[in-house]
Structure 1
Amino acid sequence: MVSGITTVNGSTIASNFTSGPGQTTFSNDFNAGTTVTSIFGLGAFSVGGSTVYPSVAAVTADNIQTTVSGASLISFNGLNDTVSAGGSAPYMSLLGNSSVLNEGSGPSTVIGGNGASTVNAGSGSTTVVGGYGSLTFTGGTSSNDSITAGSGMETLNAGTGGSNTLIGGSGGTFINLTGASTGDHIIGGTGSPPNPAVTIVNATTTTGNFEIDTNPNGGGTLVALLGGGADTVIGGGGSSIITAGSGPDVFGFVNGHAGGSEYILGFNAQDNMLFSGYTTPLTEQVTGGSDTITLGDGTTIVLLGIDHKVF
């Protein structure tokens, strides 16, 4: 069902048009001036093609499960709606309340809503900007995804394509990395008391290499469990707790970029620590069975369980 249609092949019809059952291809019926404004029925709808422009689909009813192909914009206005995006053309999606978006092969830009939303990526590249509601994102096979969590409780599951960027939000963000993909970039979220951002990264089953910027914009807390690859962690502001993995990890600190506190568990002989831009010598002392290193910009590094100085 589609409303707001005023012309079919140049002829005027009622503002509400009801399609027949099953697959309905609107692009074969409507002319270039047609605008598809609402989908509130079940089925599979094609609203794209050279004969339909602009291709805008708004899912307006509740509990709708549908496939939409060819739309340049998919808007969720109902409750508990599930939309599968067909076709390979780029599109934007505006999430609403309790919505599920199953993506296809087309590149997409997704804007989060106020409800609990789920985005299941496909083979096309995806850009997500989280909203005020909770978000569960599961990556697909594409690379170069850019996923930014919002202010709700977010779960970001990286895909298999590698070279993806996942950014924690201002609320609580859980980031899961698995497998052998390489080049993923994780950035901790930022928040201010009394509700500082918390980003938790679980990469224990990874074998590929990735990078974490703990809290580059200051504030917030990041907890990370590294995997089997040669991972890199860049210290930032706020507080971070890092458990080193089984691979040769690098912990880097840049003067003026850091300033927070970083606790490292499991640091061993195959791991390395790098410093850039510091002119003031570091200070180091062992207290309580752990080595504490203080840098010139106030950064504190605690090597938990290391009972001797490493410098």
Structure 2
Amino acid sequence: MSDTMINMKILRKCGGELEHAIKSRWVEPCSTQYYINAMEDITTRTRIGKTWTKIPMESKMISKIPRENRRPERPVLKCHKCGSTSNLANTCTKKTKINEVQIIEEIQFTEEKEEYDQDFAVSEDTPVEDYPIENITSFFQVTEVHTHLPQYSEDCYNLINIQDARMCKTKSARGKGYTAGESCITSVLMNDIEAKVNLDTGAFCTCVGKDYLQAILPGWKSHLFPIEGVQFSSASNNMYPFGILEINFVFPHPAGSIRMKTEIVVMDNCTSQHIILGNDYLNIYGIEINNHKDRYF
């Protein structure tokens, strides 16, 4: 085979742009070594005929996420009644086991109670100082609960002091219901006349209706001071002031009475059958009406 035939076969294997670039340097006659040198020179300078390798994708290069960092698996749905995974609670036909658990708990509770009674059993001859502290404290706790029970509302009770008035006006039969109904209404002395006063922390001023004031103090109009340019309103409607009246109150109590000098706003359309003592004088005289057993007013 001649050198020309060998050179033609080499050109066919190059193909494409590399074959065209080598033909541009074709010289007749030429040796095979010349074409090989020309081919290496062209590929080095122009990178024609260079086989490109694929760059691996970034997603494949990233290492796999550890199992502990993966999203938590979906929990298996179970029936809340029988604990089976084949059905749910809304379609469960098996009986619940709640009653059995309650029976076991009741048995354990009775056993613990018997052990407690045996541990703290005390004979009649045991001195008082040898009594277990747990028995003494539990006894006082029971009696303390019963002392908080308010009295029944009876009209025959004489309201001697403020504490009795507060207890008798409570409508609840059991429990600490001091704020139910008229629990904050008490009896006071107003110019040597007995009157009802509502200790209202929600009222910003002290006021009274003219109808109730006329019933307990007929000559009040002669001591009235005028009031102008002031607007009052309640939770339901507007209140129309009639004037201001200066009244002295006496809150009787065995621990010490409170004498209070107040200025009361007389309302024209107030229908309440008591005097409303507002938060202004409650703060000045430090009267506490919160729910605790040491409350006196």
User: What range is the shorter-chain TM-score in?
Assistant: under 0.3
User: Larger helix proportion, structure 1 or 2?
Assistant: 2
Q: Structure with the greater relative contact order (CA < 8 A, sep ≥ 6): 1 or 2?
A: 2
Larger Rg: 2
Structure with bigger strand share is 1
